[in-house]
Amino acid sequence: MATGRTHRPATRSRGIPEATVARLPLYLRALTALSERSVPTVSSEELAAAAGVNSAKLRKDFSYLGSYGTRGVGYDVEYLVYQISRELGLTQDWPVVIVGIGNLGAALANYGGFSARGFRVAALIDADPAMAGKPVAGMPVQHTDDLEKIISENGVSIGVIATPAGAAQQVSERLIAAGVTSILNFAPTVLSVPDGVDVRKVDLSIELQILAFHEQRKAGEEAAAAGSADADADGAPDAGAGAPDGAGAGTGAAPAAALMPPAGRAAAAAARKGGPDGDVPAVMPA
Amino acid sequence: MATGRTHRPATRSRGIPEATVARLPLYLRALTALSERSVPTVSSEELAAAAGVNSAKLRKDFSYLGSYGTRGVGYDVEYLVYQISRELGLTQDWPVVIVGIGNLGAALANYGGFSARGFRVAALIDADPAMAGKPVAGMPVQHTDDLEKIISENGVSIGVIATPAGAAQQVSERLIAAGVTSILNFAPTVLSVPDGVDVRKVDLSIELQILAFHEQRKAGEEAAAAGSADADADGAPDAGAGAPDGAGAGTGAAPAAALMPPAGRAAAAAARKGGPDGDVPAVMPA
DNA sequence: ATGTCTTTGTGAACGCGTGCACAAAGATTG
DNA sequence: CAATCTTTGTGCACGCGTTCACAAAGACAT
Ligand SMILES: NC(=O)c1ccc[n+]([C@@H]2O[C@H](COP(=O)([O-])OP(=O)(O)OC[C@H]3O[C@@H](n4cnc5c(N)ncnc54)[C@H](O)[C@@H]3O)[C@@H](O)[C@H]2O)c1
Ligand SMILES: NC(=O)c1ccc[n+]([C@@H]2O[C@H](COP(=O)([O-])OP(=O)(O)OC[C@H]3O[C@@H](n4cnc5c(N)ncnc54)[C@H](O)[C@@H]3O)[C@@H](O)[C@H]2O)c1
């Protein structure tokens, strides 16, 4: 996920819970699809299924927006599309700049889903002089020197950062100084920004690591289940992925032992899914 | 953000809370940086600052892994790097396939951050016959026909979907049938998957919409504050930056407004940042 | 050893988010 | 108009996550 937003009491602002806000785009997408099929109304049950959420949750979410449904019937699709769009601020135009037009930045620039929802790529900015003027997605790349001018002249308040991690903080500072108050950061770094500026991050690496964690846990459970017959029931497969935990020098032991030998790793690895996967070196970042 | 995971009791699994798991990669990144600078130990305070979280939260997170710190001193960097890596399952090799080698897929394939953490791109798969054999990121693109074989032979359990939305569900089904149990989905669709399969999604459009919501709210508050004297007095650099907003591009073509009630739309638009227009309607979400 | 100082690990309180369950509201039918 | 059926809107309870605050643990100095 991309999470983010610098901490904030969240209170105040009479408004909608953060969790609900994060789901509104999901509802909107489902509703738009229904709208295109000229479906006039939907029940909370149907819409919830389409959006992949619980229907009670959906109704509660909508209740924060007001009472837009009709009991016994459901919600008017078109009306709800409008209400959610308005709530999200999509009834206005949001110029956006993308900074760092490399592999990812170029892909983003070419992405059609941008303009589909009221967002407009106002400019593409890169520090590489060789890129300046070069057209990407039918739009000339502009040099970082003009960043402030571009932000200011276009009234940009949302910036997307797709530069290398090392440049991200500095780029964010320039964007903010120029007037940007919302940043979507693709660089794998924690951005430090002043209050009042929202930052959301998208980090591929983190997503994969979270998946790997669950994958490992699943493999562990599988191994445990296979090992002790098949009487799973509710075994509560301890987190430590089984073996490796207890074995490794217990807690409180002298920490100085830098890298420990990957003990029971073999077990978990062997328990992997089907497929002749013999090797498995203990690859480790350092 | 990317959020996701199909619902799940979440409880059970004697283990680490989901929220903690999501932060471990963050800690790991900060620790890796310290490790590269040969810093031997860090306090929870320092590390928390580097990771952008609360120090109490960090300590509690680590407490789920065990007692790896030394009171009065802090945490041994190398040791912690190892423990977290092990917990996340990064001490083993995770082959990954990317399906849909278009703009985004190609960018992902070229991304170096993949292999940096134990993930290895095992194959690039696309349905376009014209792509087959073409090298992307030094690796020949393979055709979808061989998807099952590729998954099976490489023991792949993590798949990345970067196809158009329309193809995502079907692709996920093929991946799952072939043995994949974790999916990172970049297509803007809700994937329906069986229990036991983890799905995380990254949706640029949703992130932007969430930012737009907060941006709009900020603009509303600002307008309200400006209307009632200038009682703010809170350092804030006053994001406005004085852009000739209202006049220029502004809210050019009304996007979806053509629909139902033409109510507060004008007000919302007028409340955009900067514009020192006199009016100031107390823009408020209904 | 003893005392002081630093920092961890965690008990406890609190707030947010989720989901159940149901009364109320309105449509629909007779 | 009354009865019935459908679906919303929400009160309530529960569990997870966050944060505070502090006792205990250990390092370090004397
Ligand atoms: N490519 C991916 O799939 C992917 C996935 C996840 C995260 N990321 C992250 O996104 C960022 C970009 O990735 P990429 O693969 O496109 O890298 P890239 O090297 O292809 O592109 C980076 C671009 O940023 C430009 N740049 C460098 N410093 C700059 C500055 N100070 N101001 C403006 N532009 C600057 C460079 O000229 C280059 O064009 C990296 O931080 C990467 O870690 C990429
Ligand atoms: N480009 C971005 O920055 C971006 C950002 C967010 C989300 N997305 C989403 O990511 C997805 C890919 O975006 P893109 O810009 O790379 O699109 P694209 O059209 O450039 O690439 C899509 C690729 O998928 C391939 N494909 C189509 N059907 C397939 C199938 N059934 N099996 C395998 N491959 C198939 C196509 O041949 C093509 O190469 C889209 O769903 C898009 O909405 C893209």
Which architecture does CATH list for B94-204?
3-Layer(aba) Sandwich (3.40)
Percent of all residues in chain A with a pLDDT value above 70, rounded to a whole number: 73
Ligand 1 atom closest to A170 (CA): 31
How confident is residue A14, by pLDDT bands cut at 50, 70 and 90?
low
In the structure, which protein residues have their CB atom closer than 6 angstroms to any atom of ligand 1? A 99-105, 125-128, 144, 162-165, 167, 171, 186-188, 204; B 107-108, 110-111, 113
Residue from A1, A98, A104, A131 to probe ligand 1 pocket by mutation (most atoms less than 8 Å from CB) = A104
* Helical segments of chain A, H only: 18-36, 44-51, 55-65, 77-88, 103-110, 147-154, 165-178, 204-227, 244-247, 265-270
A77-88 and B204-227 helices, crossing angle to 10°: 70
Q: What is the pLDDT of residue B223?
A: 72
Across residues A129-138, what is the average pLDDT? Answer: 97
SS3 A93: coil
Mutate to test the pocket of ligand 1, among A163, A169, A171, A206 (most ligand atoms within 8 A of CB): A163
Tens of pLDDT along A27-60? 999 999 999 999 999 999 999 999 999 999 999 9
Whether A13 shows a pLDDT value over 70: the answer reads: no
Please write the tens of the pLDDT for every residue from A138-188: 999 999 999 999 999 999 999 999 999 999 999 999 999 999 999 999 999
**pLDDT range class, residue A113, cuts 50, 70, 90:** confident
CA nearest ligand 1 atom 21, residue: A102
Is A157:A75 a contact under the CB 8 Å cutoff? no
- pLDDT (0 to 100) of residue B136: 97
Instruction: State residue A158's pLDDT score.
Output: 98
Q: What does residue A18 show for φ and ψ, rounded to 5 degrees?
A: -55, -40
List pLDDT tens digits, range A174-195: 999 999 999 999 999 999 999 9
Considering only residues B240 and A127, tell me which one the structure prediction assigns the higher pLDDT. A127
Q: Please list the ranges in chain B whose pLDDT falls under 50.
A: 1-13, 230-286
- Please report the pLDDT score of residue A228 as a whole number: 58
What per-residue confidence (pLDDT) applies to B162?
A: 98
Tokens of B3: 């959020």
pLDDT digits (tens, 9 = 90+) for A196-219: 999 999 999 999 999 999 999 998
Asked which of A16-20, A234-238, B123-127 is least confident by mean pLDDT, the reply is A234-238
Question: Ligand 1 center to residue A107 CA distance, Å?
Answer: 11
Query: Count of alpha carbons within 13 Å of B202, Cβ hemisphere only?
Result: 24
DSSP assignment of A138-151 equals: TEEEEEGGGHHHHH
Is there a contact between A205 and B25 if contact means CB atoms under 8 Å apart? yes
Place of tokens 């059970």: B12
Q: How far apart are CA A219 and CA A208, in angstroms?
A: 16
Q: Is the pLDDT of residue A250 over 90?
A: no
CATH topology (fold) of B18-87 = Arc Repressor Mutant, subunit A (1.10.10)
**Alpha-carbon gap, residue A173 to A59, rounded angstroms:** 40
pLDDT at B186: 98
Is B57 within 7 A of strand D by CB distance?
A: yes
Q: From A234, which residue of chain B is nearest by alpha-carbon distance? A: B12
Say how many Å lie between the CA of residue B26 and the centre of ligand 2: 28
Q: How far is CA B70 from the centre of its chain?
A: 33
A285-to-A109, B35, B40, B256 alpha-carbon distances in Å: 32, 10, 17, 48
pLDDT of the residue at A15 = 85
CA of A114 to the centre of ligand 2 (A): 14
What is the average per-residue pLDDT within A102-113? 95
The Cα angle at residue A116 between residues A115 and A118, in degrees rounded to 5: 65
CA distances from B209 to A23, A85, A180, B91 (A): 10, 9, 16, 37
Would you list the domain boundaries of chain A?
Answer: 18-87, 94-204
Q: When comparing pLDDT for A244 and A149, which is higher? A: A149
- Strand C bases near protein CB (under 7 Å) are 5-11, 15-21, 24-28
Closest C-alpha among A176, A116, A63 to residue B203: A116
Q: Are A284 and B32 in contact (CB under 8 A)?
A: no
> How far is A263 from chain B, CA to nearest CA, in Å?
10
**Chain-wide mean pLDDT for chain A?**
80
Contact at 8 Å (CB) between B286 and B220? no
pTM for the full predicted model: 0.83
| pLDDT band for position A76 (cuts 50, 70, 90) | very high
In this predicted structure, the answer to whether residue A229 has a pLDDT above a threshold of 70 is: no
pLDDT of A246 strictly over 80: no
Same fold, A18-87 and A94-204: no
Is the C-beta of residue A260 closer than 7 Å to nucleic acid chain D? no
Are the beta carbons of B24 and B87 closer than 8 angstroms?
yes
